[in-house]
Amino acid sequence: MTVYESDLPGVGRKYELETGDGRLVVIIHHDGLREVYRRESPDADAQKLFEVSVDRARQLAAVLQGTDFETVDVGALSAPLGEAIIEWREVAADSPYAGRTLGQADLRRETGVSVIAIQRAGETHPNPSADFTIQEGDILVTLGTREEQAALDDTVD
Amino acid sequence: MATNLLLVAGIVFVGLALAGSIAWYGRLSVIPAYLVLGILIGPAGPTVGGVSLSLVRPGEFIDLFAELGIVFLLFFIGVEFSVATLAAKPRRLLRAGGVDLVVNVALGVVLGLAFGFTLFESLFIAGIVYPSSSAVITKSLVDLGWIADPESEAIMGVLVTEDIVMAVYIAVLAGIAIGGAPEALLYHLGQAGVLLIALALLATVGRESLARVLDISSDELFLLRIVGITVFLGGAALSVGVSEAVAAFFVGAAVSETRHKDRIERVLAPARDLFAAVFFFAIGLGTDPRAVFDAGTLLVAAIGLGIVGKSLSGYLGGRAYDLAPRRSIRMALAMITRGEFSLVVAAVAATASGRLAAEIPAFAVGYVLIMSILGTILMRYSASFERRLTG
């Protein structure tokens, strides 16, 4: 597919995409606004379809791209690492570990896994120290063998 | 008559806010609204029901703001000056821009000579008649949705050719207007030449160093640095007899090809809008409406020729750009709008003496008032022109 790109001095940039039946024209303004037009034939005037802000445009682009938007099931995520695997696990409200420090929980002695990071409210705290307090909703990123991870599963909930 | 400076500024900005809103709701350009406000509350303001509207006199605050307005208007024209646009379809653009230049400058010069002006004065009239308004036309293109159609590429391309022509034009005219006596003139032109070469170097080889100076995460410091550089160079240019507007244009062009372009648009646009509003206001302030009426016949002739010239050059330019006849009609109508550049030329004329300072600024104000409103309206009703003229 051909995309034609051109400068619009004082406005922003224009992109024209050839589609089967005419062209899509996207105007990206300097302030981030995106306008999308459609032109049915070379002689026709472009009709404005919609306009979106930068953030909305990114979401729309992800949808169009086919990115899966379902909530990630953190329990099911794992990555191979030799014998050991890394798993992500959310701390439930009634978990015995909620409210305790890593030192108090002592997960390595209990189950054998090492806590390599804790994710809280979108932020990742790598290599947390022993006085890091675990809270409800935290996501524990742990390294261990399958058996060790299973042992953690039994105790964390 | 207000006595403290802050109150004067307050009156000016309240007035600008109101005038701008009226234009906004009428879907018209704000430029004529600011001009009219300047005329109404300036020294020549009328008396309504025994109360004089004349509240504001030209003064240091307004003069300085207006000067900054010119600097930032031209700075932004430099920023938006797009080499990529010129390079994309150079041959078509050269033809379309060439027709635009030849037809409209020639008409301007002939008009001036026919009304008994000297050749030099007629060049000023040509400088007022020739350039279309990038600011107003671009806004209309977005509002009307033409921005996504092929004619906007041609229109904006020709506007960019006008920008570069006008930068050189103002540099030369201002040099001569400020220069005065022939021997001093030569000296000034020498100084001006050195500075222009320095600025051109800044815009080419100095671009990367300039970009590095602007590598700063704080928007506040970014704003101060770019304002500092632009205003300082503008002032330095003025002190050696080069138009500050031209210096600002070069600084803008220098930063436009760097990674900072979008950020400049975002961070500096409010500063430009503020100062430019005062510039348009100040032009109105310095205008006596009687002088506009005195320029009556010249004005009527200029408006007629201005419409005919731009319609012709716009249509031919559109055809030269390979636009269909219907789209070329749109281009013809769009190009009729005049604005900021004509007023910058008027401001240069006002610094000179004789007929140049006495008659030309008032003429420019009348011309821009009519042409900016007329152009916007013609674009809005372009559909019926297209139907009638193409069948």
Out of A11, A25, A39, closest to residue B138 by CB: A11
The answer to whether the CB atoms of A9 and B81 lie below 8 A apart is yes
* Alpha-carbon gap, residue B58 to B60, rounded angstroms: 7
- pLDDT by position in tens, chain B (length 391): 557 888 888 989 999 999 999 998 988 888 899 999 998 888 877 777 777 777 777 777 888 999 999 899 889 888 887 777 777 788 888 999 999 999 999 999 999 999 888 888 898 999 999 999 988 898 888 888 888 888 888 999 899 889 888 888 887 777 777 655 556 666 766 777 777 788 778 777 878 888 888 888 888 999 999 999 999 999 988 887 777 888 898 888 888 878 888 888 888 889 999 999 999 999 888 888 888 888 888 899 999 999 999 999 999 999 998 888 989 999 999 999 998 889 989 988 888 777 778 788 889 999 998 999 899 999 989 888 888 887 6
The answer to whether the CB atoms of A45 and B85 lie below 8 A apart is no
The answer to whether the CB atoms of B134 and A14 lie below 8 A apart is no
Residue of B nearest to A25 (CA): B148
Strand pairing category for A78-81 and A139-144: unpaired
Distance (Å) from the C-alpha of residue A31 to the closest C-alpha of chain B?
Answer: 6
Dihedral sign computed on CA atoms, order A72, A75, A76, A79: positive
Residues 77-106 of B with CB under 8 A from A: 80-82, 84-85, 88
The answer to whether the CB atoms of B262 and A11 lie below 8 A apart is no
> Rounded to the nearest 10 degrees, how much is the dihedral formed by the CA atoms of B321, B324, B328, B334?
-100
Please enumerate in sequence order all residues whose Cβ is within 8 A of that of A144, keeping only pairs 6 or more positions apart, or say none: A84, A85, A87, A111, A112, A113, A114, A152
On chain A, the residues whose CB falls within 8 A of the CB of B324 are 43
The answer to whether the CB atoms of B156 and A45 lie below 8 A apart is no
Most confident among A46-50, A146-150, B238-242 (mean pLDDT): A46-50
Contacts of residues B164-167 at CB distance under 8 Å and 24 or more positions apart, as own/partner, are B164/B81, B165/B97, B165/B101, B165/B130, B165/B131, B166/B127, B166/B130, B166/B131, B166/B341, B166/B345, B167/B74, B167/B77, B167/B78, B167/B245, B167/B246, B167/B249, B167/B250
Residue of A nearest to B77 (CA): A10
Q: Suggest the residue from B75, B147, B149 to mutate for an interface test with chain A (most A CBs closer than 10 A).
A: B147
The answer to whether the CB atoms of A6 and B266 lie below 8 A apart is no
| pLDDT tens for each residue of A51-101 | 998 888 888 888 888 776 555 555 555 555 667 778 888 888 788 888 888
How many helical (H) and strand (E) elements, i.e. helices and strands, does chain A have?
Answer: 4, 10
* Alpha-carbon gap, residue B207 to B69, rounded angstroms: 24
pTM value is 0.75
The answer to whether the CB atoms of B160 and A9 lie below 8 A apart is yes
The answer to whether the CB atoms of B80 and A43 lie below 8 A apart is no
Tell me, what's the ipTM?
0.75
* Alpha-carbon gap, residue B286 to B59, rounded angstroms: 11
Provide the terminal-to-terminal Cα distance of chain A, rounded to the nearest Å: 52
Contact B383/A at CB under 8 A: no
Residue of B nearest to A12 (CA): B262
